Amino acid sequence: MEIFQLFIAAVFVNNIVLAQYLGNCPYLGCSKERGVALGMGSAVIFVIVVSTFFTWLMQRCVLDPLGLGYLQTIVFIVVIAALVQFVEMFLKKMLPPLYAALGIFLPLITTNCAVMGVAILVQREEYDLLTSVLYGLASSIGFTLALLLMAGIRERLDTCRLPKAMAGTPIALIMAGLMSLAFMGFKGMAN
């Protein structure tokens, strides 16, 4: 039950983009069409789950016993970068159809702050391994949800007549603000 609550909280209440301000670059950059948004979202789900698993192990099995906690930032980014590279090579070799779908999005995920953000957040919250991975899964589902909703709205926006200065990023940000306002309505469902 507790896990279920954590899941709902991470997808809706503390949505990683709309409430925690993580991963805004791809949120605004890759939300022009639904197809691209879905590809980006699935790649993020995949990478966040795998990287949360490995950074958790890295922190608990290497950094903590050796007293190197202050190296967290540098170790995590290297682990994530290496992992993304490895996942890309693995998919290319073993699962070409999946690579064709996600491949182009993988290299840019290294600098997506949602990945690094989730890895650090689960350490600060001191979740155990299972909870961490589930939290990573839920957060990335939340990310994909926000991205897909945004892409849907922006496809409609293309057909609207906007003031010239508002078109593009400014209106997208204001839409994000309204969406975030809507997501605040989920508060109280879980915390």
Partner 1 sequence: MSVLKEFTKGLWKELPPFRLVLGLCPTLAVTNSASNGLGMGAAVIFVLVLSNMIISMVRHIIPAKVRIACFIVIAASLVVAVELLMQAYAYPLYERLGIFVPLIVVNCIILGRAEAFAAKNGVAASVADGLGMGLGFTMSLTFLGSIREVLGNGTWFGMAVMPESFEPLRIMVQAPGAFICLGLILAGMNMLNFRQARRRGEQAEALAQQQGCGSCGGCTACGAGARDAQAQ
Give min distance, CB of 7 to partner 1, in A: 20
Site string for partner 1, 6-45 (x = CB under 8 A): ------------xxxxxxxxx-xxx-xx-xx--xx-----
List the x/- string, 148-187, binding to partner 1 by CB under 8 A. Answer: ---------------xxxxxxxxxxxx-xxx-xx--x---
- Counted residue by residue, the chain has a size of 191
Question: Among residues 4 and 85, whose Cβ is nearest to partner 1?
Answer: 85
- By CB under 8 A, the residues from 116 to 135 that bind partner 1 are 116-117, 120-121, 124
**Nearer to partner 1 (CB atom), residue 89 or residue 174:** 174
